[in-house]
Structure 1
Amino acid sequence: MKKILFIMTCFIVQDISAQVNRFVYQVTMKPDAENKSDVKTENAYLDISKEKSQFYSENRIKRDSIMQAMFQSGGARNFNREQMEGLRSNIDYSIEKDKASQKVVYKNRIGRDVYSYEEDRPINWKILSETMKIGDYKVQKAETDFAGRKWTAWFTTDLPYQDGPYKFSGLPGLIVKIEDDKGEYSFDLMKNYKIAELPDLTNRFGNAMKVKRTDYVKQQEKFKKDPVSFMTQQNSGGGGGGMRIGAPSPPQSRGGGGQNGDFRKRMEERMKEEVKKNSNPIELN
């Protein structure tokens, strides 16, 4: 009898401490504008607490946890390149929504610096009468135009949350599925469960420089145009001590032949290829 009471107490304590609901979405993307047949699929977490929610890549968290464990147990000697390649993510950003203030904060890395901005564009929904069932949930249709794409969402009132993946929220229920009209980006709810607390993403994504969204976009465009010069400029600025919008780009030839020149060339080719593979972003405007 005592054993049964102990087990029941453990379950009650676990239920009380598990104040965060984790919703796992399958994210399907076509990030390469020149190769729409290259479809990327991975999972992302939407963690919802009483105060806020966080949306971020499952692979990113797993990758960072493995790297941290490797360095603690021997550093480079334990580096497993194949394992790390399998956890590469196309979702480099994290998004935090504050319930009280209704602020949506986007955080991402450009080059070596991490930036964050507060979303300044409201999402205006048109709720339609059409309903259907997705999995166990009765869902209703809604539409919106946001950041250059037309989106169709299906939300449910079966769950007590007015939230959704990415920056999407504000419907009278949780978004179970949302997809753009070109079929290039979609988010589909796969499962949900409880976790003890919200993960601290600061340690994983780093401290961010707070900027305006328009300034973030300017930095992003500068990086896409010439990623190597952009990162060289970051280095010359002491590793990222503030915004450098409007600053002149460094000369293309910075000296250093031989191995240094070869390394720069390989890095430049790799970074340009990465930019090309991400030439169809989720936000077109």
Structure 2
Amino acid sequence: MTSINTNSSAMAALQTLRNVNSNLTSTQTAVSTGLRISKASDNATYWSVATTMKSDVGALGAVSDALGLGAAKVDTAYTAMDSSISIVSQIKDKLVTAKEGSVDKTKVQAELSQLQSQLKSVAQSASFNGENWVAAASGGDASVVSSFVRDSSGGVSVSSATYTFNSGAKGNVLFGASGGSIDTTKGILGTVDASAGGYSVSSLDISSMTGGQIDSAMTMVETALSAMTSAAAQLGSLSSRIDLQTSFASSLSDAITSGVGKLVDANMEEESSKLSALQTQQQLAIQSLSIANSSSQGILSLFR
């Protein structure tokens, strides 16, 4: 029986066309965006995980930038400390020279004064982004962002690596700092050594020293070299840790990005095949609907 009120064939063809169009829209979206899950309605669970992890990747990027800034600070401090070790080694050489009885100590002191001025210049210049790690107030610490952490409960935190200025008797700094200026009475090179006649490395004056006093000054300089070497070793270790963490942050970011891709990225080969098939199905559904609609037109011939 043919009915002019209800066309079951047309209704079936129309429903098929709707389904095909819906699937075609989803496939076209996947092809154009490269994502099979681009919004929460596609898959709420995977979308939520992917969105959170993408945010973490952004945080890791910020950590990498902070590590780069920290590395620059550490490298600046290490360069200054290494240069100062070389200068203090030259001071020790001059003291050895001054032990020779025929040497004019006044001329040796003139050379020492130039080296002492250079030490202060190095310490003053070793500043990066307003921070100076070799001329700092004792009691303070410097920190470098090292990692972004998300724990099992979903809580997040940022951890830091610390360099302590006041470690040891004279600290890990060449000079102290006060009110934004270098304090040449503190630090490894500024702290007075009573056994060396009340001098520090930066204020040492051998012009009128006896051989025994020069020996005491040499002991003071050697102690300073040991402290500076220890501080440089700590800076080197911190630099190595920053390099390792930078590499890890980059690898971790790549791993997370890859994991997110597995959750939400579209399989382009599969989507391409689906697109071709759905386009064909759409054409067939339109043709089927046209045939179903035209079948009712035959009834008109019965009334002629």
TM over 0.5: no
Q: What's the TM-score once normalised by structure 1's chain length?
A: 0.21
Higher strand share: 1
Which of the pair has the greater relative contact order for Cα pairs under 8 Å at 6+ separation?
2
| CA radius of gyration, larger in | 2
> Which is richer in helix?
2
Q: Normalising by the residue count of structure 2, what TM-score does the alignment of the two structures yield?
A: 0.20
